[in-house]
Amino acid sequence: MVMTKAGADEKTALLMSVNDWRKRKLQNAHQRFGSLEFTKRTKDTTTRVRVHIDRAVLETPKDERGQASAHLISMIGGDSEIGALWAAVTEGALFQIQLPGRTSIPASLGPEAQCFRGSVMVPGRKRPARHLVAVSAELAKTKPGADREGARTILCDNDPVFVLYRLAYRYGLPVVPEWAPWFMRELNQRKAITPLVGLGCSPVLVRGNKQTFLKWIGRALREHLIRIPEQSGSISWKVHQSATHPLPETRTGANTSCVRSLSLCVSDNLSSA
């Protein structure tokens, strides 16, 4: 394959943009880390483990004295620390989480939390650092096709297109990316979206199930607040992954003809109801 000069220039500009982004993000990166501390007391001993965290999603209670529900914690440490914390997560233990600029927050991932372990090679170190990502059972259920009857969706980004994309894939909603601004306005006006406490991301909690969102779509179509695309073809979602990557990711969704048919069906059913 032969690359043209224009293509090479475009690739070079793209790499420079990514490198500039990395330099900005990595500058004083240690100041953006939080910490997690776990203390286990037995009859004869007390074990205390402390590690750094680079991502977290916390749902704090209305009563500031209560404990928070942790939905995502990404932690980095040594073999023994990560091993102890993996066991603590599976037991539903309580952690003390310290985020930059905040007081310590007691939080638990709750029962049936899931853990994913890996290794991170660090320049200058012989042994890799151990990485543990712990996810609450509720966050795990927000993946596409899981628990479609659920009325709470935890999302790690508040970007309107990302919010609509994830809800559409979870519940099988007939939508297009152009409806994202309208959908976000609906969520805010109906107080169906709540910001959560995040580290390295901008998480939100969205309340509503498939039937609720379908009613919104049907009414909006009848009132001409949104319109069905006239063009046929596959739907491309440019989902920004700001928490992990500087560039948008393009994902292909349902066909516009399918969206047109389903949306009209929803609108007609609501009109006859």
Would the pLDDT of 42 be above 60? yes
Tokens at 127, concatenated: 């042994």
User: How high is the pLDDT of residue 3?
Assistant: 47
Give Cβ neighbours of residue 199 (< 8 Å, ≥ 6 apart): 32, 34, 53, 54, 55, 56, 99, 100
Asked whether residue 37 falls in the same domain as residue 57, the answer is: yes
Tokens at 15, concatenated: 């790499």
Q: In which domain, by residue range, is 234 found?
A: 141-272
User: How high is the pLDDT of residue 160?
Assistant: 94
Asked whether residue 158 falls in the same domain as residue 118, the answer is: no
In a domain, 154, yes or no: yes
Whether the Cβ atoms of residue 136 and residue 109 lie closer than 8 Å to each other: yes
Phi, psi dihedrals of residue 50, rounded to the nearest 5°: -135, 130
Q: Give the number of other CB atoms < 10 A from CB of residue 36.
A: 26
Q: What is the CB-side half-sphere exposure of residue 229 using CA atoms within 13 A?
A: 18
Would the pLDDT of 22 be above 60? no
User: How high is the pLDDT of residue 247?
Assistant: 38
Strand partners, 199: 56
Split at pLDDT 50, 70, 90, the class of 51 is very high
Of 157-166, 235-244, 257-266, least confident by mean pLDDT is 257-266
User: How high is the pLDDT of residue 244?
Assistant: 41
Asked whether residue 150 falls in the same domain as residue 81, the answer is: no
Split at pLDDT 50, 70, 90, the class of 43 is confident
Rounded percentage of the chain residues whose pLDDT exceeds 90: 52
Return the closest-CA partner of residue 167 out of 194, 191, 148, 182. Answer: 148
Q: What confidence tens digit (pLDDT) does each residue in 113-146 have?
A: 999 999 888 788 788 889 999 999 999 888 776 7
How far, in Å, CA of 82 to CA of 87, rounded?
9
Q: What is the CB-side half-sphere exposure of residue 218 using CA atoms within 13 A?
A: 17
Asked whether residue 152 falls in the same domain as residue 265, the answer is: yes
Asked whether residue 147 falls in the same domain as residue 237, the answer is: yes
Strand partners, 234: 255
Q: What confidence tens digit (pLDDT) does each residue in 222-234 have?
A: 999 998 887 776 7
Q: What confidence tens digit (pLDDT) does each residue in 215-260 have?
A: 999 999 999 999 888 777 677 787 765 444 443 444 445 544 444 5
Mean of per-residue pLDDT scores for the chain: 81
Q: Which of 139, 165, 189 is the last residue of a domain?
A: 139
Asked whether residue 72 falls in the same domain as residue 177, the answer is: no
For the chain, the distance separating the N- and C-terminal CA atoms, rounded to the nearest angstrom, is 58
Would the pLDDT of 23 be above 50? yes
How far, in Å, CA of 113 to CA of 109, rounded?
6
In a domain, 11, yes or no: no
Whether the Cβ atoms of residue 85 and residue 51 lie closer than 8 Å to each other: yes
pTM of the model: 0.76
The residue type found at 46 is T
Q: What confidence tens digit (pLDDT) does each residue in 180-224 have?
A: 999 999 999 999 999 999 999 999 999 999 999 999 999 999 999
User: How high is the pLDDT of residue 75?
Assistant: 94
Q: Which of 85, 113, 139 is the last residue of a domain?
A: 139
Query: What are the angstrom distances between the C-alpha of 78 and each of 107, 192, 251?
Result: 22, 40, 36
Whether the Cβ atoms of residue 71 and residue 57 lie closer than 8 Å to each other: yes
Return the closest-CA partner of residue 212 out of 266, 144, 158, 145. Answer: 266
Return the closest-CA partner of residue 170 out of 197, 200, 131, 139. Answer: 139
* Number of folded domains that form the chain: 2
Asked whether residue 133 falls in the same domain as residue 153, the answer is: no
